Amino acid sequence: MGLLLLILFIPAFAANDLLTEPNWWDMSIRLLGGLALFLFGMEQMAGSLKLVAGERMKVVLARLTTNRFMGALTGAFVTAIIQSSSVTTVLVVGFISAGLMSMAQSIGVIMGANVGTTITAQIVAFKITKYALLMVAFGFGAWFFSKQDKIRHYGNMLLGLGLIFFGMSLMSDAMFPLRSYQPFLDLMATMENPLIGILIAAVFTALIQSSSATTGIVIVMASQGFITLPAGIALAFGANIGTCVTAMLASIGKKREAIRAALVHVIFNIAGVLLWVAFIDNLADLVLLISPTSNELTGTAKLAADTPRQIANAHTIFNIANTLIFIGFIGAFGRLVERLVPDRPLEEERITRPRFLDDELLETPTLALDMARLEIGRAGQQVREMLNQIMPALLGGDRKLLAKIGEMDDKVDVLHEHIVSYLGKLSGERLNQKQTEIVLNLMSTINNLENLADLIETDLVGLGYKRLEENLQISPETQRMLNHLHTQVSQAVELALQAVKLQDTNLADQVTGMKTTVQQLFDAATNHQATRLVADEPNRLQAYTLEVEIIEKLRRIYYFAKRIAKLVEESTVDPLIVETE
């Protein structure tokens, strides 16, 4: 494993060395155990941050302005809070797919996300390892004894932070004997070659899938005086390149927007490193000017005291500078990735697949719920199309038009299957009571939509075929009455779907408030049919039966719209998006 494997394999290179060797077995156990605690602590802290801050962060991103600088600041802020640039990127991809954010806006956010990840290095650079076990104790106490979800999340976050520092302490203590072991010091001297440092850190980051963890380990090594500032900067550069592997792996099999976002991340990071690799010494000089120094110390002790903070500052300056340099080229970035990853051919676009569901967000339930809601909106769009086309086809369309409407139900079935599966996975995550209720309500919502689509595809399309087979004629007056009913019912469905998308209880209330008016319309339609029953027209009884069945199916559609609206009233949260159309 990159840096650590180099340390553990040193005995093979120094078998004939006459110096007293460290206890490799003991050191390896403490080093790997410390690394495990360090990585686990980062996972715990990041997971709790997502749970605590996810609700607020989605609103911040959703209200993003068109200003590219604001986008970069927002990306930095959101990533600093949730400690996951990949989650920020997934959110951005969802907003692009929903038409709520342009590619140019997303690039600004992705650039800013790199700045947000530097907060981890800044935290790790603080030498508070002596309080590590105290943080573990308090964090565990809050998590174990509290009954409130929010306090438990904060406790878990503090526990994770304590484990990060405790793991650092173990790794630092384990490496202390290496201070006097010349073969290791000679190996560390090779890190002065920036290309070697970049390569090692890139490989290590690609293996552990975390640039923040790599930077943290580099700071631990610096705290023992093993690496100089220029070598630490080169290793931080390598971590920035290594994290590109994570981004590209995460985009495999994903939608075009996700691949483009990952590609922006890769191009931005690699271009930034190439731009600065020849100026590592200059960056080191700048950092020395602005970072605190321990003038009372000398040699290795001074290196160990000052270098961790200097590396963290260099990492932050590097990412901020890159964002400021490249933010003026956002348009060029956008055109480049759109050329490299063109839109799908029309035939490929006809294949129905989920657009918003991403397993990356399952650990952040609030955000995953929003993506599920957006995917339900896509299914609702298909149902809306079916409902808009069914009445003209039912009253005067041919078999081809009816068959086309029937085929549209297949798309709803595919999305229904994916959404139910995704919500099932989400239910296995750490959810609070409110989130569990929302999952159940969204499950009921997509089931209602699927039932509504089946009603159109099976019942109303079937009635259209019946009209054609029996050559039934519906009078102009009855057609006007049915079209009026259809318009009112369609309006209820539209309002219900908008209520789900925006989590707007006012829209949901409008749907349920239509009950009296809609019932009066159905009563009037029934009375109209009673008067039409005695009309002197051919096949009047068969036509009457067809018309009554159409009325009942429309009544059933309103029933599903009302059920969907009631589910919104039962599971309101802060809205994800503000409608701009």
Residue-wise pLDDT tens digits, 66-78 = 567 787 887 887 7
The answer to whether 358 and 371 are in contact (CB under 8 A) is: yes
Residue 62 or residue 464, greater confidence: 464
pLDDT tens sequence across 532-563: 665 556 566 777 788 888 888 888 998 999 99
| Whole-angstrom Cα Rg for the chain | 31
CA pair distance 203, 312, nearest whole angstrom: 20
Give the whole-angstrom CA distance, residue 344 versus residue 97: 14
Give the pLDDT confidence score for residue 378 in this predicted structure.
87
Q: Alpha-carbon distance 223 to 126, whole Å?
A: 11
Here the tokens at position 487 are: 């318009």
571 to 52, 161, 368, 504, 566: CA distances (angstroms):
19, 33, 15, 10, 9
Instruction: Give dist(CA 146, CA 303) in Å, integer.
Output: 43
Which region holds residue 495: left if phi is over 0, alpha if psi is between -120 and 50, else beta?
alpha
Average pLDDT, integer, range 36-57: 73
Question: Alpha carbon of 41 to those of 4, 163, 459: distances in Å?
Answer: 18, 5, 56
Residue type, 104: A
Mean pLDDT to the nearest integer, 112-125 = 79
pLDDT number for residue 535 = 57
What pLDDT score does 345 carry?
55
Angle at 261 between CA 123 and CA 67, to 5 degrees: 75
Q: Given this model, what pLDDT does residue 533 score?
A: 60
Angstrom distance (rounded) from CA 347 to CA 287? 54
pTM of the full structure: 0.64
Q: Six-digit token pair at 514?
A: 């239509």
The count of C-alpha atoms lying within 13 angstroms of the C-alpha of 341, restricted to the half-sphere facing its C-beta, is 17
DSSP state of 458: I
Per-residue pLDDT, 66: 56
User: What is the reported pLDDT for 447?
Assistant: 93
- Which 3 state secondary structure label does DSSP give 352? coil
Q: Compare 539 and 389 and report the one with higher pLDDT.
A: 389
Looking at residue 141, its pLDDT comes to 92
Q: Which domains does the chain have, with CATH numbers?
A: 2-14+22-340 (no CATH), 359-570 (1.20.58.220)
Can you tell me the distance from the alpha carbon of 527 to that of 533, in angstroms, rounded to the nearest whole number? 10
pLDDT, mean over the chain: 79
pLDDT of the residue at 574: 45
Report for 52-61, 186-195, 526-535: range of highest mean pLDDT: 186-195
- Helix intervals (H) in 252-364: 256-276, 280-290, 299-326, 330-340, 346-349
Q: Worst-scoring range by mean pLDDT, 109-113, 115-119, 476-480, 568-572?
A: 568-572
Residue 192: per-residue pLDDT: 75
* Percent share of the chain, pLDDT over 70: 80
Q: With left for phi above 0 and alpha for psi between -120 and 50, is residue 209 left, alpha or beta?
A: left
For the stretch 169-180, pLDDT in tens is 888 777 777 766
Residue range 453-504, pLDDT digits in tens:
999 988 888 888 888 888 877 778 888 888 888 899 899 999 998 888 888 8
pLDDT band at 86 (very low <50, low <70, confident <90, very high): low
The reported pLDDT for the residue numbered 446 is 92
3-state secondary structure of 394: helix
Give the torsion sign (CA, 150, 63, 576, 92): negative
The residues near 455 (Cβ < 8 Å, ≥ 6 apart) are: 553, 556, 557, 560
For 235-293, write each residue's pLDDT tens digit.
889 888 888 876 777 676 666 777 888 888 888 889 999 999 999 989 999 998 888 88
% of the chain surpassing 90 pLDDT = 9
Residue type, 349: E
